[in-house]
Amino acid sequence: MLVSDFFLPHLGGVETHIYSLSQALSSLGHAVAILTTADPVPPGAASRAGVRYLPRGVKVYYAPLPALTAGTSVPTFSLSFLYLRAVLLRERVTLLHAHQSTSVLANECLLYASLLALPCGHTDHSLFALGDLAGLHLSAAQGLVVNTSVQRSLAVSAVTGANVSLRNGQPLGRIRVVPNAVDGEVFRPREYLEFFDTWFMLLRGNSRQVTFLHVYHHTTIAWAWWAGMTLYSTGDSYFGALLNSWIHVMMYGYYALALMGIRCPWKKYLTMAQLAQFASVMVYTGFCFYYNHQQGQLEGRHVLACAIQVGEMASLFVLFYGFYKKSYKGKPKQDDSKKTDAAEIKDECNAALEASVSGEVSDECAVAIGSLVGAARRSARLAPNRIAAKVNKAAEATSPVAKATARPSWALFN
């Protein structure tokens, strides 16, 4: 039986995890039941109470227990023992699996199941603080329940396992890391989406933009992710993807500003952020390697996955650092105050061209449009002065009477 306050119709990571786990166990021939609370229901959902059925014959008990907040029942302090005992005996439960430390229903069922001599397991899905008052109370209560009732604790990532050990005082040998539902097949680069921009560059004849850094990065990162998901598909895979998502937010923000002719304030720091990302992923990979070694769960495929990850990040760090050093270091600074408007236009166009050749900007169209927008903006600033000069010259060629009566139209442009 799977037990938690957090289940459908509420939506969340724990809820979908329990549903997917129940379906997978049922498909393997196990009789599965779920115990959760009936109230409160989310807005727009029908009230649920009693017994409902899910696909594959999974039975769901919606217990009529009072709710404290959305998804958390009120502690009953053994008042719900008779009801929950009847459910456990009726379903002839042989294993109770509780989910999430903050679930009051899960913690009470663990205590009741231990009184009935039922084997128990517990899965923690989240990281919790260790120093604040709420974290201290949660750790004390959860440590009492887990250390007296649970034979095996599970964690969805290595970091979560370490957090559980610190909070509950359990030895790492009793905490097993089970990957969150990750299908390595989904991450196979079979559609070759990563390579489309390169094909477009080659078809347009812009082979100079297809640098070694560009080809190496886009080719190896796809297969490195596939290897990581296939050999070591754990919840810790989120770390590199999370950092990379923020990098791409900065990158495409830079492209958008370049198209609008606006100088990007974080252009120089974009490559620095990428270097920090590579270094952070290497450190995090080392932590996962050490943690699994301490647990005795380190296998050959894990070692190979960590080696591929560290090798990929280290090589990208070297290549991107070379690009950063070439682009931003060793260049003499020019006094922009002494530049004429025409010189600024020329420098801006040259900078855009250099960025296109070096591969700093991966879209040639974006470079061209950005340079044209910049040149148009500079020309618009020059236009009033040039028109004023021509009007003034024409005024000087007129008669003295015309000069005295003529409206100084050049004033409109000053």
Indicate which residue of 10, 137, 217, 293 is catalytic. Answer: 217
Output the 3-class SS for 150-191: CCEEEECCHHHHHHHHHHHCCCHHHEEECCCCCCHHHHCCCC
Beta-strand runs (E) in 42-113: 50-53, 59-63, 67-69, 72-73, 96-99
Output the 3-class SS for the chain: CEECCCCCCCCCHHHHHHHHHHHHHHHCCCCCEEEEECCCCCCCCCCCCEEEECHHHCEEEEECCCEEECCEECCCCCCCHHHHHHHHHHCCCCCEEEECCCCHHHHHHHHHHHHCCCCEEEEECCCCCCCCHHHHHHHHHHHHHHHHHCCEEEECCHHHHHHHHHHHCCCHHHEEECCCCCCHHHHCCCCCHHHHHHHHHHHCCCHHHCCHHHHHHHHHHHHHHHHHHHHCCCHHHHHHHHHHHHHHHHHHHHHHHHHCCCCCCCHHHHHHHHHHHHHHHHHHHHHHHHHHHHHCCCCHHHHHHHHHHHHHHHHHHHHHHHHHHHHHCCCCCCCHHHCCHHHHHHHHHHHHHHHHHHCCCCCHHHHHHHHHHHHHHHHHHHHHHHHHHHHHHHHHCCCHHHHHHCCCHHHHHC
217 in active site? yes
Which residues are catalytically annotated?
A: 217
